[in-house]
A and B are shown apart, each in its own frame.
Chain A
Amino acid sequence: MRYAMAIDTKRCVGCADCVVACQTENNVPEGYCRDWIVEETIGAFPELQLEIRSERCNHCADSPCVRCCPTGASHYEEGGVVLVNHDECIGCKACIASCPYDARFVHPEGYVDKCTFCIHRVREGKNPACVDVCPTHAMIFGDVDDRNSDISKALRTRKYKTLIPEAGTEPHVFYLL
């Protein structure tokens, strides 16, 4: 089993619903977010392209944050989900420095926080909050080891990319193009 997310840039309108749904679902404190929107414009007037992406922790298979964590607070959970054990985190920020995606922040309560793929929901058989709220159905969550999962099908039938692949971290958030 390997959890992953695919985000369809053709569907995404950049409304940031995923951001606020994450904040309410996970009680993310004001001023912080676990996911965010990036808009990238390519070309010159009037020949333009716009790519809109919802970004978050990539739950990398070879995560520098897990490797560099001195206490083992950053660790892999079932399905390769990267989590931070709040009690073991000493707030040294090594993981923040190592993450090529700038996906982590220090929670005001003193530990490092980030996207959990809503593992508490996934364990109940639900999708992450961002996936379920998305008005344009731009996000797919699932098991890429299961050939019949929606995400596997999407990755077989659509072109996709990952962010900063050159970092070699094997990110597991895919962007459908």
Chain B
Amino acid sequence: MGKKLNRREFIKIAGMGAGGLAVGSSFLKPVSLFGQPVSKEKLLTSTFSEVTPTYCEICFWKCAGWVHKKEGKPWKIVGNPDDTHSNGRFCPRGTGGLGAYTDPDRLKTPLIRVEERGKQVFREASWDEAFDYITGKMNRIKEKYGPECMALFTHGSGGGYFKNLIRAYGSNNIAAPSYAQCRGPRAEAYLLTYGEGVGSPERTDIENTKCLVLIGSHIGENMHNGQVQEFTKAHMNGATVITVDPRFSTAASKSKYWLPIKPSTDLALLLAWINVIIEEELYDKEYVKKYTYGFEALKKAVKHNTPEWAYPITTIKPHVIRETAREMAAAAPAVIIHPGRHVTWYGDDTQRVRAGAILNALLGSWGRRGGFYAPSKAHVPKPKHPAYPKPSKGWRDAFPDKYPLANLALSSGICDATIPSTTDACSIKGWIVYGTNLIQTLPQPEKTIKAIQNLELLVAIDIMPSEITGWADVVLPECTYLERYDDLRISQGRMPAIALRAPAFEPRYNSKPAYWMAVQLAGRLGLSEYFPYERIEDYLEYRLKAVGSSLEEMKKLGVKNLPLEQELYFLNGEDYEFATPSGKIELYSDTLAEYGFDPVPRYKAHEEPPDGFYRLLYGRAPMHSFGRTTNNPLLTELKQENEVWINPKVAREWGIENGEYIRLENQDKVISNKIKVKVTERIRHDCVYMVHGFGHRQKQLHRGYNRGADDTRLITRVNVDPIMGGTGMRVNFVTFRKEVA
């Protein structure tokens, strides 16, 4: 047990070590990306419109930009040229961010449920009534069960205030679906291998790479702005792109190699690549010798994983596997096996992502130009508050022997811990759900609803009505990011930077900022001391002053880039101690062995679709952020509904025509909403694909309601990653139903 490295220890180590990530908080001058001093006034004088700085909240990339008004009215949002997330160019969702503000379906005033849960009968309430209701229930839960029985689910910028609130209240049950339903396996795989994560925005040096390997990552369809820009740059500079995907994605269409792999067999391909790299001695011998641990054990473990072994599993021909492995080696160390982002696919996801991490190590790409750089992050102190009370139990107690290497709380775990039948060790009684529509973000929605039925309090805080707000006891309407201040954006990147979000408009309706809500709730719960500043402006001034800036300055700059205080590339022969038990990159993991997991990833076959069924794959469209934008007036115009992609051979067999509507039925007889068919050569015959986030059941979403189908409803089964509890969701199979009436 002692060897486990948790995230706090990692941060401590990283802060002290040679490759330290923290940047001093000295009084620093802003630098522009082009080496020129930034003119504070340039944007204000160059146009007749009024501008306000913001960073986007339509997705997690958080690009900084300017909100323009014309004659006092909302006009447009454009990127801030000094921002490395966007380089001055927003993606369609950011450009369409005004739609979040103008959407007439927004939540307008606090609501309190008056009939049974899920019936969606609410009465309008004042903020005071809503807060009294919530704090009354929270006090009762604390008395009756203990504060640990409250949980918070969160996604988005305002989540931090509620995290502070719920910790002050005495609970550590704080989960984000972005961990167990998305990138958790990636975090743990890289932590196990390198002692550090990949982070967000990813520390991939795509713009300088010579070879980029994408495994299911559909860059361009997932519009992670800076990454898409770098991808294009690399592609135009002649980088070799190798895309592994059952679907001819946009990225595949830009690739030199498209490997239309049989779904669920990616790990076999990765092991075969490792095998070729080792057997043909294409690995970086010096790097491997100096920086890695367990090479001989790895070599032995993958001995049998030849391209010929992988061929019948993956359907990728041996000569293609060899050729692509040699391409990677030829480009090394400027090569990236992309770690992916949404990686909860099959339940062995930590191992699959780790295989990619190992391949990166063999090619010597970690810490090298064109591989993975050392990210920097601005260090901006927060005002002090009393220590949080120590919770006596947590969600983990509900799963005593499970998911030993999970470093963050599992949202699916908290959901399970709310259903009393699982265990009594920590039964959750109250949820605060901030900015995440759990009915669409957690798999097995019927289970989520079952958990909700056992709650004594469910608070949903959101901008838009959604499925989860329909189940809530109290709904608190937050104003959009364009109508509020928020905490500074301090994310990692090639250089440390801070960005400000200031309100461009007054909040519409009776909506309020999350910070204000958290402060009000804290006051009523007797926890005000945890929020030293009642007004967020004062809180921001405190933080900005600590780095030699101010609200006034940041309103003019929007983004402040701070000087880089460390090298981007740090493994060119320098001594380096990794934050792993061996101090090296762990090709072989003693930690995994200790817990009874494979110390080197091993391929195990997954269940295959029965006759007449097809594996359900899902993904992203560039103009939507999951289900959060599928009612945005500007963005729904770009894509109003999703389609199900079906191979022409399969469509012929079933007599299905392009453009017709069908329904999908999964292995558990769950039938989808009707969905339009896209018959296309761009997908294999053994799977179907749809974009996630459509098929809303919330009638108050007038644009999104009933448009397209919701993949989550068909995800009634998951394979849980035993290492960290991620829910593998690409394990559901569907067939076609032609009755759509």
**In angstroms, how far is the closest chain A Cβ from the Cβ of B618?**
19
* Interface: B689 (CB within 8 A): no
Specify which chain B residues have a CB less than 8 angstroms from the CB of A13 in the assembled complex.
220-221, 223, 228, 232, 250, 254, 622
Interface residues on A, range: 20 to 34
Specify which chain A residues have a CB less than 8 angstroms from the CB of B681 in the assembled complex.
41, 43-45, 48
**In angstroms, how far is the closest chain B Cβ from the Cβ of A107?**
16
Q: Decide: B232 and A15 in contact? CB cutoff 8 A.
A: no
Q: Kindly report which residue of chain B lies nearest to residue A18, judged by CB atoms.
A: B92
A residues sitting closer than 8 Å to B (CB atoms) are: 10-11, 13-17, 19-21, 23-25, 30-31, 33, 41, 43-46, 48-50, 52, 129, 132-138
Q: Kindly report which residue of chain A lies nearest to residue B89, judged by CB atoms.
A: A135
Q: Knowing A45-B684, A46-B258, say if A15 contacts B623 (CB, 8 Å).
A: yes
Specify which chain A residues have a CB less than 8 angstroms from the CB of B253 in the assembled complex.
48-50, 52
Q: Decide: B638 and A19 in contact? CB cutoff 8 A.
A: yes
Q: Decide: A133 and B90 in contact? CB cutoff 8 A.
A: yes
Q: Decide: A17 and B76 in contact? CB cutoff 8 A.
A: no
**In angstroms, how far is the closest chain B Cβ from the Cβ of A114?**
17
In the complex the two chains form, what is the Cα distance from A23 to B623 in whole Å? 14
Q: Knowing A24-B76, A50-B250, say if A135 contacts B637 (CB, 8 Å).
A: no
Interface residues on B, range: 35 or more
In the complex the two chains form, what is the Cα distance from A129 to B96 in whole Å? 13
* Interface: B248 (CB within 8 A): yes
B residues sitting closer than 8 Å to A (CB atoms) are: 75-79, 86, 89-92, 95-96, 98, 220-221, 223, 225, 228-229, 232, 235-236, 248, 250, 253-254, 258, 260, 622-623, 633-635, 637-639, 647, 680-684
Q: Decide: A133 and B95 in contact? CB cutoff 8 A.
A: yes
Specify which chain A residues have a CB less than 8 angstroms from the CB of B89 in the assembled complex.
17, 132-135
Q: Decide: B260 and A45 in contact? CB cutoff 8 A.
A: yes
**In angstroms, how far is the closest chain B Cβ from the Cβ of A127?**
11
The contact of B260 among A19, A46, A137, by CB within 8 Å, is A46
Specify which chain A residues have a CB less than 8 angstroms from the CB of B647 in the assembled complex.
45
Q: Kindly report which residue of chain B lies nearest to residue A136, judged by CB atoms.
A: B232
Sorted nearest first, the 6 A-B pairs with minimum C-beta distance are A13-B220, A50-B253, A15-B622, A136-B232, A17-B92, A24-B76
Q: Decide: A23 and B634 in contact? CB cutoff 8 A.
A: yes
In the complex the two chains form, what is the Cα distance from A115 to B75 in whole Å? 18
Q: Decide: B637 and A25 in contact? CB cutoff 8 A.
A: no
Q: Knowing A10-B254, A14-B622, A33-B637, say if A136 contacts B229 (CB, 8 Å).
A: yes
- Chain B interface mostly helix, strand, loop or mixed? mixed
Q: Knowing A16-B638, A20-B96, say if A133 contacts B623 (CB, 8 Å).
A: no
**In angstroms, how far is the closest chain A Cβ from the Cβ of B652?**
13
Q: Decide: B248 and A16 in contact? CB cutoff 8 A.
A: no
In the complex the two chains form, what is the Cα distance from A139 to B232 in whole Å? 13
The contact of A15 among B75, B92, B633, B683, by CB within 8 Å, is B92
In the complex the two chains form, what is the Cα distance from A31 to B638 in whole Å? 9
Most buried by B among A17, A49, A135: A135
Q: Decide: B75 and A137 in contact? CB cutoff 8 A.
A: no
In the complex the two chains form, what is the Cα distance from A14 to B220 in whole Å? 8
In the complex the two chains form, what is the Cα distance from A3 to B19 in whole Å? 51
Q: Knowing A41-B682, A133-B90, say if A20 contacts B232 (CB, 8 Å).
A: no
Q: Decide: B682 and A50 in contact? CB cutoff 8 A.
A: yes
Q: Kindly report which residue of chain B lies nearest to residue A43, judged by CB atoms.
A: B681
**In angstroms, how far is the closest chain A Cβ from the Cβ of B52?**
15
**In angstroms, how far is the closest chain A Cβ from the Cβ of B441?**
23
Q: Decide: B236 and A10 in contact? CB cutoff 8 A.
A: yes
Q: Decide: B228 and A136 in contact? CB cutoff 8 A.
A: yes
Q: Kindly report which residue of chain B lies nearest to residue A17, judged by CB atoms.
A: B92
Given contacts A16-B623, A19-B92, A41-B682, 10 further A-B contacts (CB under 8 A): A13-B221, A14-B250, A15-B622, A21-B95, A24-B634, A48-B253, A52-B250, A52-B253, A135-B225, A137-B229
Specify which chain B residues have a CB less than 8 angstroms from the CB of A137 in the assembled complex.
229, 232
Specify which chain A residues have a CB less than 8 angstroms from the CB of B639 in the assembled complex.
16
Specify which chain A residues have a CB less than 8 angstroms from the CB of B79 in the assembled complex.
133
Q: Decide: B75 and A24 in contact? CB cutoff 8 A.
A: yes
Q: Decide: A16 and B92 in contact? CB cutoff 8 A.
A: yes
In the complex the two chains form, what is the Cα distance from A10 to B256 in whole Å? 12
In the complex the two chains form, what is the Cα distance from A14 to B647 in whole Å? 21
Specify which chain A residues have a CB less than 8 angstroms from the CB of B236 in the assembled complex.
10-11
Specify which chain A residues have a CB less than 8 angstroms from the CB of B682 in the assembled complex.
41, 45, 48, 50
In the complex the two chains form, what is the Cα distance from A114 to B426 in whole Å? 61
Q: Decide: B220 and A15 in contact? CB cutoff 8 A.
A: yes
Q: Decide: B254 and A20 in contact? CB cutoff 8 A.
A: no
Specify which chain B residues have a CB less than 8 angstroms from the CB of A31 in the assembled complex.
637
**In angstroms, how far is the closest chain B Cβ from the Cβ of A53?**
13
**In angstroms, how far is the closest chain A Cβ from the Cβ of B200?**
18
Specify which chain B residues have a CB less than 8 angstroms from the CB of A138 in the assembled complex.
232
Specify which chain B residues have a CB less than 8 angstroms from the CB of A21 in the assembled complex.
76, 92, 95
